[in-house]
Amino acid sequence: MNANQERRQYERLSAQIETEVTDGKSFQIFGYVRDVSLSGLFVTCHRKLAVGTVCQFLLSPDEDFHSDSIRVIGRVVRVDDDGMGVQFMEAVGDNFNRLRDILKSYEK
């Protein structure tokens, strides 16, 4: 087991969830969540935010961003050529439970 696996509190699962990322100002990124856990995610994208940036994610398990999307707030903790690693700071409303339910569907 490597050091990253030992630090993780929640299991990380492979996913393919469309996402919209904003920095609360004018910066907007569209990408795909590559893997996700209850503590964070990695989003593949061309444009990236700097490490330490607080951002909002709109996760869309379906095609329509605004009908059944999940909002989470996170902080960018890692950036590489493929995208950004983000640690969740909070899930708005009951979104934590909805995110957990989506993760359960990827476990199957």
pTM attached to this predicted model: 0.77
The answer to whether the CB of 21 falls within 8 A of the CB of 31 is yes
The 10 Å Cβ neighbour count of residue 70 is: 22
Residue 83 has pLDDT above 80, yes or no: yes
Contacts of 89 (CB under 8 A, 6+ apart): 54, 73, 74, 75
Instruction: Report how far apart, in Å, the C-alpha atoms of 49 and of each of 6, 25, 40 are.
Output: 26, 12, 16
pLDDT value for 85: 96
* Domain limits for position 102: 3-107
What are the tens digits of pLDDT across the range 73-82? Answer: 999 999 999 9
53 band by pLDDT with thresholds 50, 70 and 90: very high
CATH, residue 85: 2.40.10.220
- Number of structural domains (the chain) is 1
